[in-house]
Amino acid sequence: MASVGRVVLVTGVSRDLGLKFARAAAEHPGVDRVIGVDVVPPRGDIGGVSFVRADIRNPIIAKVIAKEDVDTVVHMSVIATPGSTGGRTTMKELNVIGTMQLLAACQKSPQVRQLVVKSTTTVYGASHRDPAMFTEEMEPRHAARSGYAKDVAEIEGYVRGLARRRPDVSVTVLRCANVIGPEVRSPIADYLRLPLVPTVLGFDPRLQFLHERDLLTAMCHAVATGQPGTFNVAGSGVLPLSQILRRLGRATVPIPGFALGQVGNTLKRFGLGEFSPELRAFLTFGRGVDTTRMRTELGFSPVYSTVAALDDFGADLRPTGGRAERVLGSLEQRLDRAPAFVGGPHSDLPDLSDLPEAPGGARD
Amino acid sequence: MTEATGSRRSVSPTDDSVEQAEVIPIGSRGSRHESEGDVPPPDVDDVLPPPGATGSDRFVLSTEQWRGLFVRAATEVFGEAWEPQLARFLAFLRRRITGDYAVDEFGFDAEITQRFFLSALRPLAERWFRVEVRGIENIPTEGGALVVSNHSGTVPIDGLMTMVSVHDHSGRFLRPLGADLVFRLPVIGAMARKGGATLACQEDAERMLGQGELVGVWPEGFKGVGKPFSHRYKLQRFGRGGFVAAALRTGVPIVPLSVVGAEEIYPLVGNIPSLARLIGVPYIPITPFFPLLGPLGLIPLPSKWLLEFGEPIRTDEYDAGAAEDPMLVFNVTDQVRETIQQTLYSLLMQRESVFR
Q: Would you kindly state where each structural domain of chain B is located, as residue ranges?
A: 2-97, 110-265+300-350
Kindly report the nearest CA distance between residue B243 and chain A, in angstroms. Answer: 15
Cβ contact, residue pair B83, A338, below 8 Å: yes
Best residue of A124, A129, A327 to probe chain B, by most B CBs closer than 10 Å: A129
Highest mean pLDDT (candidates A73-77, A355-359, B65-69): A73-77
Sort out which chain B residues have CB atoms less than 8 A from A258's CB and list them: none
Cβ contact, residue pair A243, B99, below 8 Å: yes
Best residue of A127, A130, A139 to probe chain B, by most B CBs closer than 10 Å: A130
Mean pLDDT of chain B: 85
Kindly report the nearest CA distance between residue B18 and chain A, in angstroms. Answer: 20
pLDDT of amino acid B83: 83
User: Which pLDDT tens digit goes with each residue over A247-274?
Assistant: 999 999 999 988 988 888 888 888 777 7
In the predicted model, is pLDDT for residue B53 greater than 50?
no
| C-beta of residue B183 within 8 angstroms of C-beta of residue A128 | yes
Sort out which chain B residues have CB atoms less than 8 A from A138's CB and list them: 203
Does the beta carbon of A311 lie under 8 angstroms from any beta carbon of chain B?
no
pLDDT of amino acid B40: 47
Cβ contact, residue pair A345, B33, below 8 Å: yes
Sort out which chain B residues have CB atoms less than 8 A from A360's CB and list them: 5, 8
Percent of chain B with pLDDT over 90: 64
pLDDT of amino acid A84: 63
Sort out which chain B residues have CB atoms less than 8 A from A363's CB and list them: 1
In the predicted model, is pLDDT for residue B57 greater than 70?
no
- Window A:77-106, CB contacts with B under 8 Å: none
pLDDT of amino acid B5: 41
Cβ contact, residue pair A346, B38, below 8 Å: yes
Report the residue of chain B nearest A360, measured CA to CA: B5
pLDDT of amino acid A204: 96
Report the residue of chain A nearest B193, measured CA to CA: A204
Report the residue of chain A nearest B46, measured CA to CA: A353
For the segment A41-49, the average pLDDT, to the nearest whole number, is 88
pLDDT of amino acid A150: 92
User: Which pLDDT tens digit goes with each residue over A278-325?
Assistant: 899 999 999 999 999 999 999 999 999 999 999 999 998 888 887 777
User: Which pLDDT tens digit goes with each residue over B306-345?
Assistant: 999 999 999 999 988 899 999 999 999 999 999 999 999 9
| A246 vs B48, B69, B99: nearest CB | B99
In the predicted model, is pLDDT for residue B238 greater than 50?
yes
Cβ contact, residue pair B71, A345, below 8 Å: yes
User: Which pLDDT tens digit goes with each residue over A134-176?
Assistant: 999 999 988 887 788 999 999 999 999 999 999 999 999 999 9
Lowest mean pLDDT among A240-244, B76-80, B189-193: B76-80
Kindly report the nearest CA distance between residue B72 and chain A, in angstroms. Answer: 7
Best residue of B7, B32, B103, B187 to probe chain A, by most A CBs closer than 10 Å: B103
pLDDT of amino acid B4: 41
User: Which pLDDT tens digit goes with each residue over B74-130?
Assistant: 888 888 888 888 888 888 888 898 899 999 999 999 999 999 999 999 999 999 999
Lowest mean pLDDT among A43-52, B140-149, B150-159, B186-195: A43-52
> Which CATH superfamily includes the segment(s) B110-265+300-350?
Glycerol-3-phosphate (1)-acyltransferase (3.40.1130.10)
Q: What residues contact residue A201 under an 8 Å CB cut-off, 6+ apart?
A: A254, A255, A256, A257, B186
For the segment B232-249, the average pLDDT, to the nearest whole number, is 93
pLDDT of amino acid A320: 85
Report the residue of chain B nearest A344, measured CA to CA: B80
CA distance A39 to A86: 14
Cβ contact, residue pair B187, A325, below 8 Å: no
For the segment B157-172, the average pLDDT, to the nearest whole number, is 96
User: HEC profile for chain A?
Assistant: CCCCCEEEEEECCCCHHHHHHHHHHHCCCCEEEEEEEECCCCCCCCCCEEEEECCCCCCHHHHHHHHCCCCEEEECCCCCCCHHHCCHHHHHHHHHHHHHHHHHHHHHCCCCCEEEEEEEHHHHCCCCCCCCCECCCCCCCCCCCCHHHHHHHHHHHHHHHHHHHCCCCEEEEEEECEEECCCCCCHHHHHHHCCEEEEECCCCCEECEEEHHHHHHHHHHHHHHCCCEEEEECCCCCEEHHHHHHHHCCEEEEECHHHHHHHHHHHHHCCCCCCCHHHHHHHHHECCECCHHHHHHHCCCCCCCHHHHHHHHHCCCCCCCCHHHHHHHHHHHHHHHCCCCCCHHHCCCHHHHHHHHHHHHHCC
- Between A343 and A128, the higher pLDDT residue: A128
- Between A95 and B44, the higher pLDDT residue: A95
Sort out which chain A residues have CB atoms less than 8 A from B206's CB and list them: none
User: Which pLDDT tens digit goes with each residue over A78-136?
Assistant: 888 776 667 788 888 889 999 999 999 999 999 999 999 999 999 999 999 999 999 99
- Between A233 and A363, the higher pLDDT residue: A233
Radius of gyration of chain B (CA): 26
For the segment A3-23, the average pLDDT, to the nearest whole number, is 88
